[in-house]
Amino acid sequence: MEDYRAFGLFSNTHNKTIVICDNMLTETSTMKDVMSSLSTAFVNAIQNPFQPVGNPLVMNSLDGIISNIIQKHNSINLRKKV
């Protein structure tokens, strides 16, 4: 576990988000923004009135949003590395 950094967020609605990074350049302040963005994306997804209750949350748009958040975070870390 010493090669990784773990970040977690426990929201007021009892949703838990855990992010494991293998990049040691990750700063806590940057991860706060990432965790906040991930939480907002999840809340927006579950507010969809057409999402069936009790079924797994499977949305291509949510997958795309999460991928964009991760790519943005990775590009910030790559710029800091150079």
pLDDT value, residue 77:
60
**Residue 80: pLDDT band by 50, 70, 90 thresholds?**
low
The answer on pLDDT for 82 being more than 60 is no
Q: What's this model's pTM, rounded to 2 decimal places?
A: 0.71
Residue with tokens 């590009």: 75
Buried b (16+ CB within 10 A) or exposed e, 37-72: bbeebbeebeeeeeeeeeeeeeeeebeebbeebeee
Q: What is the pLDDT of residues 1-50, one digit of tens each?
A: 678 888 888 888 788 888 888 766 667 777 888 888 888 888 888 888 88
